A = this chain, B = another copy of it.
Amino acid sequence: MNIKKMMAQEKVQPFLLQARYGIEKESQRVTLAGDLVHTDHPQNVGDRSFHPYIQTDFAETQLELITPVTESVDEVLAYLEAVHDVAQRSMNEDEMMWPFSMPPALPEKEEDIQIAKLERHADVLYRRYLAREYGKRKQMVSGIHFNFEYGLDLVHQLFLAQAEETSLETFKTRLYMKIARNFLRYRWLLTYLFGASPLSEERYFDEEDRPKEPVRSIRTSHYGYVNKPDVQVSYESLTRYSEDLAENVAQGRLSEEKEFYAPIRMRGGKKVADLFHTGIRYVELRNIDLNPFDRVGIDADEIEFIHLFMLYLLWTEEKLSADEWVAEGNRISDAVSLEHPAEPTAYLAEGQEIFAEMLEMIDELDLAGKELVKSYQAWLEHPEETLAAKILALDEAEGQAVVATKLGRKFYDQAHAHPYQLAGFQEMELSTQNLLFDAIQKGIETEVLDRQDQFVKLQHGAHQELVKNGNMTSKDTYIAPLLMANKTVTKTVLARAGFRVPEGETFGSIETAKKAYPRFAQKAFVIKPKSTNFGLGITIFKGTTSINDFNAGLTLAFGEDSEVIIEEFMPGTEYRFFVIDQKVQAVLLRIPANVIGDGQRTIESLVAEKNADPLRGNNHRSPLEKIQLGEIEKLMLKGQGLQIDSVPEKGQQVFLRENSNVSTGGDSIDVTDETHESYKQLAIDAVASLGAAISGIDLIIPDIHKPYETKADYGIIEANFNPMMHMHIYPYAGKSRRLTLDVLRFLYPEMTI
């Protein structure tokens, strides 16, 4: 089987870089001062017994963050970023993640290290066993577990390119066994480049047998968390590997298979024995230290390099028998791990050889990534570029613990800087980002089916739901949103059901509009251009109106637009009721863009101050929009005899817009708790009469505190399908209403979230 030739075949070539990735990353929870916490796993991340993203490893303080399996580096990092945001924001406010593989200073008494409080007794028992066997301190080390799978098409094409193996499963197993051996042989190179545990903090080692000098990686050396030396396993074949593992368990050297801490694990079934049926499906690389300079512990370059390294392991031939090859690898790995980070490696020559071969492979197979490989190649002769050396340099300047605390704090700040965003998904709508956040937090599996289209798949157990734009779901019928989209029909249906909607009519000419005078003369009504942005052309008539005033109002309005609406005027304030599943989860008051004077500063400066709020941004990338000072705002000021350099009096509220939309700089104020229940019931009933499950319904209410008695106490302006959620979640003032969580609760009533 000439794998080099196989890989070079034209039909294999397009699939060479096809792969699937998944990452698990451990982190110790620490205080902002860098001390190990004493708190339990965050409560609001839901149930650890099934959580697909946020788990605990050995200790209660040790988070394990898990990505789903993805088909691109961007995607796996997006998920890792997202899960980080969720985990960090789910922790106590004074807690953060320790960015290093080596734990912070450990408690003096080993019993103060709290084993993870897992639900399943077997899980706890296993950890107690580990604590007895290896000591708790050793378990406190963290790292990256990198799951890697060659693309199915790639494996299939390689399979077709040979004749020795007739079963695809056997072929795959043979492939991955080779990878495993080569990985074990050459993994020292990853340790050289990415090893990042040069020093231990206090009380990691409780005995004298420890490195006396800084090293590249305590974690991957024999000082790390490794099996006892008598546990030996052959990688010659899956059969031998499996037999040896079984023997180790039978002899009591291992309590069970999973106690075998190999730097690479063959995966595919629940147990090793399953691999005989399924073939090895992927491998788990376990020797990667946390990169403390990246908040998720690994970066895209590192992943791309590992990917090319994995291809190289496939490409290059083994040079010794299986067991010798692996033994040599293990020996070199331990040696390199224990080299001084600032010194060149003793295996420089072999390193040069590997890089030369990798570059040769890239050339021969016409692969991308040459520059990346070259840049890492340069580190060989510049050990100061390696992660361990960089950490060491910082440690010499101010001490590793200080560095770790600073880096941790930087990442903590990053996670909290834009609480309304979800890292990795920031280009999606805010509502979808919030929904994804909540789903990840509560352990609902998420998959973005189409980023641009805001199409998300959720899954919990067998229960699958699709969600578009945050709240377009299977809970609504097809017809209800179509009804709400037609404002006229909506009014008809609401009026038939006995709700009060403003009567109104649109006129295309002033002549026909004038004839409507008698119908409105005795009513309160408003004349307005059909499209108006800033109140121009609007006249409100509140009682008996003379024909002259009526006609004057029409002239004004027709001066602004060729179509004019005459509509019953409903006195009161407009509120948005967010109704979901027959409950009002939020009531919001929106007021037009405004500033409040202090008697000293200009309007321009007051606007600048208000815009400095981190919740305000542009183009719907933030919950609130910055107030503009454009033509419309200036006209609006002019109407009040003001300019942008006017200085309003102390306490004077100056409006810069007529319309109250949040999208034009308006303020959103949550008034859910102040709103009288009777209006909430009214909103629920109105939405029910439209047959809708989720709706943002706008009501005009004169006094929201007073119970609703007659139809004069309200009017329904419109009902909106796919209503905005982020303005409720991040209001300008008032309480946040986590509507995305309500959506999830509606979709998954079987979960207690």
Contact = CB atoms under 8 A, between A and B. Distances in A.
Contacts of A492: 449
A455 B516 contact: no
A486 B691 contact: no
Given A449-B492, A467-B479, A489-B453, A13 B472 contact: no
B14 A515 contact: yes
Contacts of A468: 479, 482
A474 B466 contact: no
Interface string A456-487: 00000000011110001111111111110010
Contacts of A481: 478
Nearest to A366: B515
* Secondary structure class of chain A's binding surface, majority of residues: mixed
A506 B157 CA distance: 22
Contact of A478 (B10, B449, B476): B476
Interface stretch (A117-125, A256-264, A517-525, A724-732): A517-525
Contact of A518 (B13, B482, B721): B13
Interface residues of A, number: 41
Interface in A60-113: none
Interface in A371-396: none
B519 A450 contact: no
A473 B483 CA distance: 10
A678 interface: no
Contact of A489 (B153, B450, B475): B450
A478 B474 contact: yes
Interface in A676-703: 691
B691 A453 contact: no
Contacts of A515: 14
A100 B621 CA distance: 71
A482 B472 contact: yes
A459 to B, nearest CB: 11
B11 A449 contact: no
A23 B698 CA distance: 39
B477 A15 contact: no
A653 interface: no
A516 B15 CA distance: 10
A721 to B, nearest CB: 8
Of all A-B residue pairs in the complex, the 4 with the closest CB atoms, nearest first, are A476-B478, A474-B477, A14-B518, A449-B489
Given A11-B519, A466-B691, 14 more contacts: A10-B518, A11-B521, A14-B517, A14-B518, A449-B489, A453-B489, A455-B486, A468-B479, A472-B479, A473-B479, A474-B477, A475-B477, A475-B478, A478-B721
14 contacts: A10-B521, A11-B518, A13-B518, A14-B516, A14-B517, A450-B489, A466-B482, A467-B479, A468-B479, A468-B482, A472-B479, A474-B477, A476-B479, A477-B478
